[in-house]
Amino acid sequence: MKLWSDSWTNGDRIPARHAAGRPDGAGGATFSDNLSPHLAWSDLPAGTQSLVMICHDFDVPTRADDVNQPGREVPADLSRADFFHWVLVDLPPEPAEIVEGAFSRGFTPRGKPGPAVQGVPGAEAARHGLNDYTNWFVGHATMAGQYFGYDGPFPPWNDSLVHHYVFTLYAVAVPRLPLVGVFDGHAVRRELAGRVLGEATFSGTYTLNARLLSEAP
């Protein structure tokens, strides 16, 4: 299996238009275009009946003490955890690409609707799981809600670690995963057990730290 994008080269910095956050010019961050990226695939295994796309960031701080605090940085050696940015299941193998912006254009307060995918030709049978902005905004007066679909990078603007985002495409042996109602990335990973025929990854990096951006070549 192969997975690639026309939006950036594998392993390079993700363009700001695909992020949920961008630098605000004053050392902090603000919302960005949040366009879902172009992705394409080939060489699916024989017997593939559907696809699953998961995007996760494995560099999310496990403690929020220093997150987005002026005059401080989140230590690079802090323990890190997964954060799901996109959970898409029951995607048809054809057409063999996702057009840029097909699944997200802009950041929606309280989250885009789901699980059913709406308004994407050819993906009517697909479903979206919750991404982890659902947990991030719990209790927030104007942002709390269920966040379905793609919402891109928005790492802490003072994190001393550059974040890595991995898009993983799974070729699945069944047309529909046995998921009922609302689900998240952890539930999808459990249901994939024994049903995956192959997988491929494509990755990128992103930071909002002004110091790191100024030091970048």
3-state SS, 152-211, equals: CCCCCCCECCCEEEEEEEEEECCCCCCCCCCCEHHHHHHHHCCCEEEEEEEEEEECCCHH
Position 153 pLDDT exceeds 90 = yes
Q: How far apart are CA 182 and CA 173, in angstroms?
A: 22
Identify the structural domains of the chain with CATH numbers, from first to last.
Answer: 2-215 (3.90.280.10)
pLDDT at 194: 96
Question: Which H/E stretch holds residue 64?
Answer: none
Mean pLDDT of 150-172: 98
Q: What local confidence, expressed as pLDDT, does residue 106 receive?
A: 97
Output the pLDDT for position 3.
98
- At 206 the pLDDT is 98
Handedness of CA 35, 167, 144, 62 (dihedral sign): negative
pLDDT of residue 47: 97
C-alpha separations of 147 from 111, 113, 117 in Å: 4, 7, 13
Q: What is the pLDDT of residue 215?
A: 87
Name the band, by pLDDT with cuts 50, 70 and 90, for residue 100: very high
pTM of the model: 0.96
Decide if pLDDT at 36 tops 90.
yes
| pLDDT tens readout for residues 47-75 | 999 999 999 999 999 998 999 999 999 99
**Alpha-carbon span 215 to 196, nearest angstrom:** 41
